[in-house]
Structure 1
Amino acid sequence: MANILVIDDDPIQCRLSEEMLRAQGFEPLIAQSGADGLAMLDSENIQAVILDLVMPEMDGMTVLSEMRSRNFNQPVIVQTAQPAVENIISAIRLGASDFFSKPVAPERLIISLQNALKRFELENCLRTETHRQKGALSFNDMAAKSPAMKKSIAHGEKAAATQIPVLIEGEAGTGRDMMARAIHHQAKRSGKPFIAINCSTMDADELEAILFGTQESSDKTVFDQAQGGTLYLDEIGALPLELQGRLLALFTDKMISTAASEPAPFDVRLICATSKRLLNLTKQKQFREDLYYRLNIFPIYMPPLRDRVEDIDDLVSHFVTKFSVAEGRRIEGCSPEAMAMLRQYEWPGNVRQLENAIYRAILLTEDGILSPNEFPQIQTSLQGAEKLRHALKSMSPQAAPDHIDAAVAPATPLKPKAKPTKDRFLTEDGRTNNLAQVEKDLIEFALKKHNGKMSAVARALGIGRSTLYRKLKEYGLDGDQSNAA
């Protein structure tokens, strides 16, 4: 749902515009002065603007000029009761997408607005992909409606203003590479080399050769190639301990000393990333503690997609536009039912999984709208979880144990009677258990039933493995009884 800002000093016109936009599925935001409109552009996520030209204090032309100077690139549709030719020319020069004389037929305004939004989305998509191909990604190319992502980008912007090492932590597919490239592009080293390698895709000998060179090879190392620029080491936790020591020596000596060249001054900005907590690897003696503290000067956490649901709409819109153009398909977007399903899913593969799901859906669909049927794996996963929840709700509680006052004394001595089975939904004193305790008991039962196999447990409970691990930690359950199988 696109947010449309209406800037108009006429309350009646504002109310009519609000009703019209809401009827068409848009989310209207109203500002009755130019200053209020600019303030809302600063604070809200706006996709398009409907602007009146004639307003007191700050007119529409001034608003357009301010939007251009502040780099607001949302499409603007101008409507005015004074459609002079010079006003039209001035507004178009200042960036207006369309121009209408009041009163405007609602159908014409909606069509113009829809076309402007499509053009805006296409331009944004092309700009992002161009930046990606040129290695010039910026923070503006990252979807960031959610508070979690806004916080990460704010940290990235602060890191870009320094020359210190940066450590980016986050699950696979969360955009660690984009963050590293955005930091490089906004830093003083922008325009200098950006060299990226993944430590988890090479063995120790390959890593040693590419990082520090060998006697047999005269090829430049990645440190030589990145001189004056940035070296991005992804999955730094996979770097062998011996090479960790040599990397630490670079920070100490400030000199590059390779097997194939003479020592040279070390002038490389180092950005590292990992999908595992380096602190945990340090405690397990798999990562050097002294190197960890050298790298962890400025940590940045990339949140998983399940923690930034507010960004899913923009990501879906971007991927639909990108793959529609690539495949030559005319796809309008996702149906409301499909969007609700995509927001509900936990996305263990994060943004990369969402991107692949959208691409597959575009290849499957026969229509211009993506429905839930184009996402069969996600649909099946969510339906399985819903069936389990329904089954749990329909379970009838066991009969309450006999109260001691109701027991009848036997006429003859009997063998001790077995203690009544405790009702799983009741506490020792007969009160109803809280939901957290019931959930904990259910997870313990599933762990025992499936012999601690985490995939089977998560599948039986209808939740993702990441959610299951989080629950184990939250309830203090013994993770050793489980395994990754």
Structure 2
Amino acid sequence: MNEMPRDGKALPSLADRLARLQAELDETRRQLAVAQRQHRRPEHRIIDFVGSSPAAQEVKRQARRVAQADATVLLLGEAGTGKALLAQAIHAASRRAARPLVTLDIAAVPRALLEVELFGVAGDGDMSDGAAPGGSGAAGLGVSGTGVLGLGGYSDPARPWGKFGLAEGGTLFLNEIGDLSLPLQAKLLRVLQAQEVAPLGGEPQKVDVRVIAATTRDLAAMVQRGEFRADLYYGLHVLPIRVPALRDRVEDIEPLAEVLLEELSRRGGLPTKPLGASALAALQRRPWPGNVRELRDVLEQAFLAGTNSPVLMAGDLGGTSAGMSGGESSGISSGLSDGLSGGQSGGISGDASVAPLGASSGGVPSTERAMPTFAVTLPAFAARSPSTTSSESGPEESLPLPTLSVRKAQLEREAIANALRRTNGNRVAAARLLAISRATLYEKLARWPELGRRHN
């Protein structure tokens, strides 16, 4: 039977050592979890397809539907619309989510090497002379004991380690399918019809792979011109989804910009810089031929090279603000809810009607929601008529009458303060209460930062 330590100090010492070891173990586990997260491919979900416009909602509805099926999906749309991210989201929502998602950009691979990339090489890369153009066997293709270009470490002669082999049990995303040559179109059609892959120099082998294809080209027109096989077109066109261009969902620019700016902030370790109303208006007028990819590039340039302002303004966007005419909308549109002032003087009540505060003076349409005009009670000095003021005696006679812009600024500031107070500093809820965009609220808070600090 073990004897208890005679020295009573030994027990606390042992407990301290155990506590230190436990702390070290916990820290090691934490570091391991961080390392695993850093090396894990980020998983995009269908909900991550940003936007609440009807066009974006329809894309998400179709994506959820096709994710539950196992048929081939064809993503159609202009370059930069997010087809690759949508393919990742469909895979992540499918029954194959635990298996690989392999991507091949067909336009980026030389045609002479594309067959090897897609279907692999028979055996362990050892091929008879003349099996492919450009040299002897696999060596002429740049394959050295791997069975596939640039993907070493596979030596199973029973598996053709092309992209189809790598995607076994999972999904293969073929980007720019319209660039595939007619001979390879025939081989791909065989895979879709028979679920068989014929590696270069080998026999057909069964594979279990779902194909998601994407293109920026008009495949139907290519079929008419004889540039794309009709049978392959119909084989791919089982579940088509057309991804809309950014110019067709302008209302999604603001949430897209917010997501992209947050991403830029995290990646660069810099403070978040919200989008101001003037910048949002400039972005919404742009035609965006490069779609979301172009939006990302413009925001990144503005984020890194912009002014020291805490909010991105139209001037930070360079050429995106060109062509803007007239004055900017003041931002606080009409339609502030009755009672925002909480009963304070100068707040909103039901006395005198005034024009909407968000009206633009230069013909540029307001970027905010159009709402009915609202009633305000102006401070006493502002509500007096000139005759009344002149007939009264007292020290106020010598005070200058505030200008319209000053009065409007006072009302805007008070309305924002009241909204923040009523929402306990929740800026999203405050913007909704004021019937303005978050971008406009951020821009106003940059002008009056003390309002935001009160609720931090």
Q: Report matched runs for 1:39-438 at 5 Å.
A: 134-214=41-121, 215=127, 216-217=137-138, 218-219=147-148, 220-259=161-200, 261-365=202-306, 366-380=308-322
SS of the equivalent of 1:334 reads coil
Distance 2:251 2:174 in 1: 30
How much is the aligned-residue C-alpha RMSD, in angstroms? 2.2
**Counterpart of 1:72?**
none
Percent identical among aligned pairs is 33
Deviation per residue, 1:51-98 (Å, 9 max, x gap): xxxxxxxxxxxxxxxxxxxxxxxxxxxxxxxxxxxxxxxxxxxxxxxx
Which amino acid in the other structure matches residue 324 of structure 1?
Answer: S
**Deviation readout 1:164-223 (Å, 9 max, x if unpaired):** 000000100100001111110000000101000111112211211101234434331111
Residue 85 of structure 2: SS of its match in structure 1?
helix
Per-residue Cα deviation, 1:223-281 (whole angstroms, up to 9, x for no partner): 11111100000000000111001111222333222125543212110000001111111
Equivalent residues of 1:196, 1:231 under 8 A apart: yes
Q: Distance between the aligned counterparts of 1:277 and 1:131, measured in 2?
A: 38
Distance in 2 separating the partners of 1:131 and 1:179: 22
Which letter does structure 1 place at the counterpart of 2:173?
Y
**C-alpha distance 173-132 of structure 1, shift in aligned 2 (>3 A):** farther
Q: Deviations over 1:91-130 (max 9, x none)?
A: xxxxxxxxxxxxxxxxxxxxxxxxxxxxxxxxxxxxxxx7
- The verdict on how the C-alpha distance between 1:318 and 1:201 changes in structure 2, with shifts beyond 3 A counting, is same
Counterpart residue type for residue 117 of structure 2: I
SS at match of 1:300: strand
- Larger mean CA deviation between 246-255 and 164-173 belongs to 246-255
Q: Secondary structure at the match of 2:270?
A: coil
Distance 1:283-1:247 versus aligned 2 partners, 3 A rule: same
Contact 1:248-1:291 within 8 A present in 2 as well:
yes
Gaps of 5+ in 1: 1-129, 384-389, 391-485
Contact 2:103–2:175, Cα closer than 8 Å, also in 1: yes
| Aligned-pair CA distance for 1:144 | 2.3
Give 1:317 shift.
Answer: 0.8
CA distance in 2, matches of 1:187, 1:373: 44
> What is the Cα deviation at residue 133 of structure 1?
5.8
Q: CA offset at residue 295 of structure 1?
A: 0.4
Q: What one-letter code is carried by the residue in structure 1 that aligns with 2:98?
A: G
Structure 2 CA distance for aligned equivalents of residues 276 and 147 of structure 1: 24
| Residue identity matched to 1:350 | N
Q: Which residue number in structure 1 is paired with residue 415 of structure 2?
A: none
- The one-letter amino acid paired with 2:86 is M
> Do 2:119 and 2:165's aligned partners in 1 also have CA atoms closer than 8 Å?
no
Report the 3-state secondary structure (helix = DSSP H, G, I; strand = E; otherwise coil) of the residue aligned with 1:332.
coil
Letter in 1 for 2:95: K
Does the CA-based 8 Å contact 2:174-2:212 persist in structure 1? yes
TM-score (norm 1): 0.50
Code of the aligned partner of 1:223 = F
Q: Report the Cα distance in structure 1 between the residues aligned to 2:39 and 2:223, rounded to whole angstroms.
A: 34
Q: Which amino acid aligns with 2:227?
A: Q
Contact 1:196-1:233 at 8 Å conserved across structures = yes
Partner Cα separation in structure 2 for residue 133 and residue 342 of structure 1: 34
What is the distance in 1 between the residues matched to 2:112 and 2:232? 20
**Pair member with larger Rg:** 2
Structure that is richer in strand per residue: 1
**Contact kept? 1:210, 1:221, Cα under 8 Å:** yes
Task: Give the structure with the larger helix fraction.
Answer: 1
Q: CA 1:346–1:133 in 2, change beyond 3 Å: closer, same or farther?
A: farther
Contact 2:283 2:321 in 1 (8 A): no
Alpha-carbon offset, residue 380 of structure 1: 2.5
Contact 2:104 2:174 in 1 (8 A): yes
Does the CA contact (< 8 Å) of 1:331 and 1:367 recur in 2? no
Q: Once the 2 structures are TM-superposed, how far is the Cα of residue 283 of structure 1 from its aligned partner?
A: 1.1
What is the number of residues matched between the two proteins? 256
State whether residues 246 and 291 of structure 2, in contact with CA within 8 Å, keep that contact through their aligned partners in structure 1: yes
Q: What letter is aligned with 2:176?
A: E
What secondary structure sits across from 1:369 in the alignment? coil
Q: TM-score, normalised by structure 2?
A: 0.54
